[in-house]
Amino acid sequence: MKIRLEAVNKNDCSGRWKIVYLKGSALHTHPASEDPSIHPGHRRRDMQRLVSSDLSTQTLISSQTAVGIAPAAVVATIRHAHPETSILAKDVANHKRVDRREALASNTPTELLLKQLSTNKFFFKYKVNPETSRLQYLFWSHPGIKQFYKWNSDVLIMDCTYKTNAYDLPLLNIIAMTNMNTVLPIAQCWLSGEKEDDFLWALEQLQCMMTEYAISKPTIIITDRDQACMNALDRSFPDVPSLVCRWHMNRNVLAKTRTLFGQVEIENPAPGQDKYENTVATDQFMELYYDAVESPSEAEFESRCATIREFSVEMADYLDKHWWKYKSKLVHCWTSQYLHFGYRDTSAVEGTHAKCKRWLESARGDLLTAFDKLLPWWKNCIKNVSYGVERDVSTVSHQLQEEQYTGVVLFISRYALQETSELWKIAHRIVRKQEPIEACTGGFRRSNGRPCVHDLIEIVKSERQQN
């Protein structure tokens, strides 16, 4: 049906008007709608009624969309409280777009992002390309991490992730590991590329933040095998040792070994089981490789490398070319000289990448959209660290109520004490069964910052003599 308004007297438009059908449309072409949701006018009226008269619903829509909850899920929540509503997911999405237009006003998304960072007292730095007037770098850090970073500045891990924004800018995640074995996000930085100067700019901003917050330099920095990033670290933190991720090395070496020595198909694999397994030669080589990585001394490392060369010249050449040139950042006899608290890979920051992308949901948003979606993740991380700190000083787990922990249980993190508790068990077993043990090299104490099993064995023996 199509209608239009016409003046009764076509020569006098100030008079009465009438509704007339257009030719051939006096009848409906379909039956009356049974669901009012089909008509945008009904949905707009429902949305206006809920938003204007029900403040809790308005708050619900704004808060849920602000933390990245999908419009469909928001509608499901509304429909649970108001079963009769005709609102659809696209109405919530439209409402969100209206809110964004109002927030932007006369600003571009990037301009509003910078204003939000300033208003919320973030530490942030940015650089604009003078030739194109486009944003080249943006570094930011949440103000809530300041005190926690002061307490947990020893271990930094950094790595880039991709597909976080519509401009394909790599996102550099910088995290610290806390004394509770949890992740504390330190900073994020959108880079225009992954060259040495790009990383150098980001690291210079990190140094500025550390200076402003009076934060100590890290004792160790862990990255993957990105030469540009490693070069930038050598320039910006020349006196801080760095490690290369072992996990990436192990994965690459295993892939190369399987290419050379192969895999065999498993007959009738169980559900979820791999369809292939390593050949005997692959497992034998990987055992030699792992022994070399864990070499307790430089002389032992050279000896084990010679054994690898006897087994396979091709794999020995591969390791020499791609990995052993970083041996001081990978092999135990060198890395045990540094205080790294047992962290030798980038798995924690890889997990951070995955969590960020779950919050982002899409890689098509502009920088403002991406930042808005990441902000709740920042707040959650900081809250979790805050809770862990309070838990450690307020409660004592049953495991740590033994006499040897009395003087330290409220000053040393629960995680560190629980890890030491496992060593206590080993020490007691060795003394009780008089098991042989290799001589102490001091490497564990230096690299983990806590007593090794040899220290605990001496304590156990001393206690037995006193009793």
Q: Which residue has the tokens 């919530």?
A: 92
What pLDDT does residue 39 have?
Answer: 59
What pLDDT does residue 47 have?
Answer: 59
Q: What is the mean pLDDT of each run of 10 residues along the chain (467 residues)?
A: 76 81 63 58 61 59 76 81 77 78 85 93 95 93 96 96 93 96 97 96 98 96 96 96 96 95 85 86 96 96 97 97 96 96 95 93 88 92 91 81 80 89 93 91 92 93 81
What pLDDT does residue 29 have?
Answer: 59
What pLDDT does residue 83 have?
Answer: 80
d(CA 188, CA 141): 7
What pLDDT does residue 419 have?
Answer: 92
Q: Which residues contact 448 (CB under 8 A, 6 or more apart)?
A: 339, 340, 341, 342
Domain chopping of the chain, boundaries: 1-32, 33-105, 109-241+347-386, 247-335, 398-466
Please give the biggest Cα pair distance in the chain: 120
What pLDDT does residue 410 have?
Answer: 79
Centre a 10 Å sphere on the Cβ of residue 299 and count the other Cβ atoms it contains.
Answer: 10
d(CA 202, CA 130): 18
d(CA 277, CA 283): 10
Strands 220-223 and 276-278 turn out to be unpaired
DSSP SS3 for 264: strand
What pLDDT does residue 71 have?
Answer: 82
Record the pTM: 0.83
Q: Which residues contact 390 (CB under 8 A, 6 or more apart)?
A: none
Centre a 10 Å sphere on the Cβ of residue 139 and count the other Cβ atoms it contains.
Answer: 25
**Length of the chain counted residue by residue:** 467
- Stated as kind and residue range, the H or E segment containing 157 is strand 155-161
